[in-house]
Amino acid sequence: MCKITIFLGLFLTAGCAPSEEWWRDSFIYQIYPRSFKDSNGDGVGDINGITSKLEHLVDLNVSAFWISPFFKSPMSDFGYDISNFTDIDPIFGTLDDFSKLITKAKSLNLKVILDFVPNHSSNKHPWFQKSIQKIPPYDNYYVWRNATFVNGTRHPPNNWLSVTRGSAWTWNDVRQQYYLHQFSYFQPDLNFRSSALNQEMKDVLTFWTKRGVDGFRVDAIPQAFEDARFLDEPVKPNTGLPPDDPNTLEHIYTKNQKETYELVRSWRNHLDAMNGTRKIILTESYITLDELNQSMKYYEYGADIAFNFMFVTGFNNRSTPTDFKDGIEKWLAHMPRGNYSSNWVVDNHDNNRFSQVSVWCITGMKLGWKTRGCRIMRLLIRLDAVQDQLATTSRRGILREHPSSGIIQLALDFQQTKQLGYESTLTTRF
């Protein structure tokens, strides 16, 4: 039976091919620790809160859960600015709390996936503070460059723009150099061309693997390496966007560099060399449908799941059933040959909570629609997510007009869901 389940709060994986690898036909649930469950009444969700509710994930038929960062952090970017990669922020708990979480998860046969944020640290990380002071080996842990001067005025080394707009370079008065930040200024990019830094980050993987995790979701992987020549990126013609908007540039020197793929392969080899079961690697890369090959390549370099954000970013309320069909087929057609699993992200912490309750059956490796092979599908929703998005535009009407397209739309009775409680399940048949 080909089984597809859509999860709110994270993503769905879909696979019809039988396999011993658990993620090939699995539901992976994202837990955002801050909002999941507060165990001590301070108003912030925490690890003990997660532990106390793991039975819910079992009820939901979840195979694994991915926890967004709970590491020590100033929380300028809600945990994606890490100041200690191997410790837990006190607002979320302790390493002992985490050990209890792992123990309980294993007793319930749940896999645990952690966020791995390799591109940058917090600017409060001791590594960065030592890098500012040029203390070896930390002096080379970040990407530092000299200023350029035009008519005596200081300028950044090149025209690179951060994801959050504006120059990707910030001047540091102490070191008298610019540091690179592909995201916010408080998230300086780590320099994987430093062998010492490279080893530090492998040690992070080792640290958590030894504490029982089953894999890693790798944050912002395309930005890991930058071209070492630091050339200006080409400006796209006629975008009509403000000049500080990163979408005005062709990111040929700052995204998906060949060294980045090799880096993923090195993590694959590193994890494979450790004892125990194979650890899953999921790579996060936002791409357009025209850039599919760049994302797919992560499969071939050791990722088990190269996130497919097509449903999140590829469509809008003007998309037609044909657009959906063509997009899905395009994604499947671009998957590399081999024993890889497709996946279908429906939302995450970077996007509005998922409100659509459309359900498709999509074959894994074999392209196309398969309406007869699917018997039962279970749809799981979180009521708060539905409530968040009740007022947003729905594609439902469009889909209903074209049932022959193969898109099956499940009409959700919100009132009924509400009566069922915070989490509920629906099943449908087609």
Look at the alpha carbons of 328, 336, 295, 25 in this order and tell me if their dihedral is positive or negative. positive
CA gyration radius, the chain? 22
Residue 425 per-residue DSSP state: E
Choice between 44 and 367, CB closer to Ca ion: 44
CB of 389 to Ca ion, least distance (A): 26
CB of 46 to Ca ion, least distance (A): 4
20 assigned to active site: no
Are the beta carbons of 291 and 310 closer than 8 angstroms?
A: no
User: How many other C-beta atoms lie within 10 A of the C-beta of residue 415?
Assistant: 8
Nearest-angstrom CA–CA distance, 341 and 15: 6
Choice between 40 and 247, CB closer to Ca ion: 40
Backbone angles phi, psi at 92, to 5 degrees: -100, -15
**Pick the catalytic residue: 284, 304, 347, 423?**
284
| β-strand pairing of 71-72 with 358-359 | unpaired
Residue 167 per-residue DSSP state: B
Choice between 22 and 185, CB closer to Ca ion: 185
Using alpha carbons, list the distances in angstroms from residue 50 to 11, 54, 235, 318, 387.
Answer: 19, 6, 46, 38, 22
Choice between 41 and 240, CB closer to Ca ion: 41
CB of 260 to Ca ion, least distance (A): 8
Using alpha carbons, list the distances in angstroms from residue 237 to 161, 230, 234, 241, 243.
Answer: 16, 21, 9, 10, 11
Enumerate binding residues for Ca ion (CB under 5 A).
Answer: 38, 40, 42, 44, 46, 119, 189, 223
The tokens of 105 are what? 């998860």
CB of 394 to Ca ion, least distance (A): 35
284 assigned to active site: yes
Are the beta carbons of 339 and 19 closer than 8 angstroms?
A: yes
Choice between 141 and 324, CB closer to Ca ion: 141
**Pick the catalytic residue: 219, 226, 304, 423?**
219
Active-site residue numbers? 219, 284
